[in-house]
């Protein structure tokens, strides 16, 4: 009898521990209780099923939101969505506490965000990676021309490959920004191949839509498969799945990898042996400027186009010939200004 009781108590305690621990830490500059009062400025961020410390996409968005809230002397907090069914209820949690701005991160949350913008007309919504087709004045989609970043990265890869085989290990093509990265990358390689009068084989492998951004083991093995077939430059893009690919390439001598979204030289140190650059979208800047606009009352509905770029070469500048670096720089200006088109439909 005593044994049974002990078992029960321990079980409940263990289960409670398991459930109670993963509570996110909020940044408490001002308290959440003050949200909704005239002087307070509260920013809530809801991630897609990715994590806020994914070292790329969600992390940058959160950093932008946090910084903008801090600048405004406000309060910021995030919720990580575990199950896509909870998009709306996670948004509702912030709305119920009268947050001023709610940032939703990820293409897949577009519908939930558009619906919430109608439901809560006094709250400003910022949808990262969401093309906003609605007319709501309090919902602004933050989108990026990922194809341009992919194009530049592909162009560099086209000049760096020695085996004339370049691969990409990506999250799912169901998410348009990922596909834009991939298509841009492919066209960038073709552009470089044409300039050099070479044939370069380009391969893009996408993860299945389910769990697409949280499968580093798949990323690593798939990158290994490409390496085994002589591919020597690999673009890893898709949250932790992409990071897995970068880590695998880093172990192969002489192979190069390209990161995504942020400068992953800084965020994925294990990739440093191979990481020559990252195809970046300046997420943090985009989010923080939109939050600042919301604070100032100048945020408009519709869509807001963020900036892109490619990251510095860091230690791997030694593998990039000066002439190539110069070409990339020249092309960057042309792509950004639009004189060179990526050939990818938005």
Partner 1 sequence: MSQLKSKRNYLLIAVAAVFAYFYHKDGAVTTSVVSTAISFGLPLALAAMVGIMCERTGIVNIGIEGTMLISAFAAFFVASTVKSIIIGLIAAIVVGMLAGFLLALMAVSWRMDQIIAGTIINILATGLTSFLFKQGHTLPSAMPEIDIPVLQNIPFFGPVLFMHGPITYFGLIFIVFLWVALFHTVWGLRTRAVGEHPGSADTAGVSVLRLRYLNVTLAGAVGGIAGAFLSLELVGSFERGFTAGKGFTALALMIFGRWNPLGALAAAMFFGIAQAVTNQLMIDQVVNIPQQFVNMLPYVMTILVLAFAAGKVRPPAAEGQPYEKEQA
Binding site for partner 1 (CB under 8 A): 3-4, 6-7, 11, 14-15, 17-22, 51, 53, 55, 167, 173-174, 203-209, 211, 214-222, 224-226, 228-230, 240, 243-244, 247-248, 250-251, 268-270
**Which C-beta is closer to partner 1: that of 184 or that of 247?**
247
Encode burial over 68-85: b for 16+ CB neighbours within 10 A, e otherwise: bbbebebbbbbbbbeeee
**Which C-beta is closer to partner 1: that of 53 or that of 111?**
53
Tell me how far, at minimum, the Cβ of 150 lies from partner 1, in Å.
17
Q: Which of 132, 120, 63 is nearest to 96 (CA)?
A: 120
What DSSP state is assigned to residue 85? Answer: G
Residues in Cβ contact with 192 at an 8 Å cutoff, skipping those fewer than 6 apart:
154, 155, 156, 157, 158, 159, 200
Burial of 225 (0-12, 13-18, 19+ CB in 10 A): middle
Residues in Cβ contact with 33 at an 8 Å cutoff, skipping those fewer than 6 apart:
none
Tell me how far, at minimum, the Cβ of 181 lies from partner 1, in Å.
15
Token code pair at residue 143 = 């989108």
| Separation of alpha carbons 298 and 294, rounded Å | 6
**Which C-beta is closer to partner 1: that of 233 or that of 299?**
233
**Which C-beta is closer to partner 1: that of 24 or that of 71?**
24
Tell me how far, at minimum, the Cβ of 108 lies from partner 1, in Å.
15
**Which C-beta is closer to partner 1: that of 206 or that of 304?**
206
Tell me how far, at minimum, the Cβ of 130 lies from partner 1, in Å.
22
Tell me how far, at minimum, the Cβ of 216 lies from partner 1, in Å.
5
Tell me how far, at minimum, the Cβ of 63 lies from partner 1, in Å.
13
| Separation of alpha carbons 124 and 56, rounded Å | 24
**Which C-beta is closer to partner 1: that of 121 or that of 230?**
230
């Amino acid at each position: 009898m005593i044994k049974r009781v002990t078992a029960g108590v321990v079980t409940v305690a263990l289960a409670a521990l398991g459930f109670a621990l993963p509570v996110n830490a909020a940044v408490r500059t001002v308290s959440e209780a003050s949200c909704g009062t005239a002087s307070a400025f509260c920013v809530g961020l809801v991630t897609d099923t990715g994590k806020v410390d994914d070292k790329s996409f969600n992390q940058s968005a959160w950093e932008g939101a946090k910084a903008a809230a801090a600048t405004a002397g406000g309060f910021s907090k995030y919720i990580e969505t575990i199950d896509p069914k909870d998009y709306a209820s996670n948004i509702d949690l912030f709305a119920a506490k009268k947050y001023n701005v709610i940032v939703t991160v990820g293409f897949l949350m577009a519908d939930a965000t558009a619906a919430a913008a109608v439901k809560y007309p006094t709250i400003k919504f910022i949808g990262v990676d969401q093309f906003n087709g609605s007319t709501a004045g309090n919902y602004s989609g933050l989108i990026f021309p990922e194809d341009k970043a992919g194009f530049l990265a592909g162009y560099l890869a086209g000049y760096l490959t020695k085996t004339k085989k370049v691969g990409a290990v990506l999250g799912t093509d169901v998410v348009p920004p990922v596909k834009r990265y991939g298509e841009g990358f492919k066209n960038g390689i073709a552009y470089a191949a044409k300039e050099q009068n070479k044939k370069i084989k380009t391969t893009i492998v996408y993860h299945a839509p389910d769990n697409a951004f949280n499968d580093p083991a798949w990323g690593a093995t798939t990158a290994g498969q490409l390496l085994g077939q002589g591919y020597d430059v690999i673009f890893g893009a898709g949250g932790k799945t992409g990071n897995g690919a970068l880590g695998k390439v880093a172990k192969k001598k002489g192979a190069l990898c390209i990161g995504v979204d942020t400068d992953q030289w800084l965020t994925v140190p294990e990739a440093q042996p191979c990481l020559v650059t990252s195809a970046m979208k300046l997420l943090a800047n985009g989010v923080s400027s939109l939050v600042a606009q919301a604070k100032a009352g100048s945020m408009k509905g519709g869509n807001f186009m963020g900036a892109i770029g490619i990251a510095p070469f860091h230690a791997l500048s030694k593998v990039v010939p000066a002439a190539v670096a110069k070409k990339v720089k020249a092309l960057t200006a042309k792509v950004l200004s639009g004189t060179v088109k990526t050939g990818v439909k938005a």
